[in-house]
Amino acid sequence: MIFRQLFDSASGTYTYLIAGRAGGEALLIDPVLEKLDRYLKLLDELELKLVKAVDTHLHADHFSALAALQQRTHCVNVMGSQTAADVVSLRVDEGDIIDVDGQRLEAIYTPGHTDDSYSFLMGDRVFSGDTLLIRGTGRTDFQNGDPYAQYDSLFNKLLRLPAETLVFPAHDYKGDTVSTIGEERAFNPRLQVDSADEYAELMNKLNLPRPAMMDVAVPANLRGAG
């Protein structure tokens, strides 16, 4: 397997490149528009053909590269069935499998950060989007966010994965790159709650500022421009 964790420092976004073998087909998760040339160069260097590009949810903090990648590589764009984004050609639901050259990603519907948030399980690792971050969780105060839905996604889905499952989030702002389900269960301050009500109270008290790019990024990501 070819696996790369790529970083956009402007938005703190991780993008993941997955392929079965050099010379084969590839998939990107959460690509950032400003990094388009870097992805195309890396795909070229590794002699990979991009066949699918996935957004874990509609992003509010950066321009997605899905539309641009589709234009440049004719890849299939993938998001959850709940999304309002126009650029999607394949919509997945809970339990659907995305297959690229023998690498299988299972879609897990994990709403809460947004109502179109998905995580993707691939063997020993899960791509947790903005549902589960390293020592944090995605905010739930806009884009149809819902702390009760997120509690359910976390405690009844992601935290039920084997403790050794590697956690690769969509963002990190502190320099952490990977964690495990067991580590997050023990040390993530957001997960030290006893009930959905307690979790919702914690999330509703965060009072976070609006993302700087939200007013331009959300409309652009909906219509596939940027």
Binding site for Fe ion (CB under 5 A): 130
> Which residue number is nearest to Fe ion in terms of Cβ?
130
Q: Give 92 or 100: the residue with its C-beta nearer to Fe ion.
A: 92
Q: Give 130 or 172: the residue with its C-beta nearer to Fe ion.
A: 130
**Contacts with 116 (C-beta within 8 Å, 6 or more apart), sequence order:** 57, 58, 79, 80, 82, 83, 84, 85
Q: Give 116 or 130: the residue with its C-beta nearer to Fe ion.
A: 130
226/211 Cα distance (integer angstroms): 16
We find the least distance from the C-beta atom of residue 218 to Fe ion, in angstroms, to be 10
175/7 Cα distance (integer angstroms): 10
Length of the chain equals 226
**Contacts with 125 (C-beta within 8 Å, 6 or more apart), sequence order:** 165, 166, 167, 168
We find the least distance from the C-beta atom of residue 120 to Fe ion, in angstroms, to be 15
Q: Give 14 or 199: the residue with its C-beta nearer to Fe ion.
A: 14
We find the least distance from the C-beta atom of residue 147 to Fe ion, in angstroms, to be 15
We find the least distance from the C-beta atom of residue 19 to Fe ion, in angstroms, to be 25
We find the least distance from the C-beta atom of residue 49 to Fe ion, in angstroms, to be 28
- Which of 59, 80, 73, 49 minimizes the C-alpha distance to 12? 59
Q: Give 101 or 130: the residue with its C-beta nearer to Fe ion.
A: 130
We find the least distance from the C-beta atom of residue 197 to Fe ion, in angstroms, to be 24
Around Cβ 72, how many Cβ atoms within 10 Å?
Answer: 15
Cβ proximity of 94 and 107 under 8 Å: yes
Q: Give 125 or 139: the residue with its C-beta nearer to Fe ion.
A: 139
**Helix, strand, coil distribution of the chain in percent, nearest 5:** 30, 30, 40
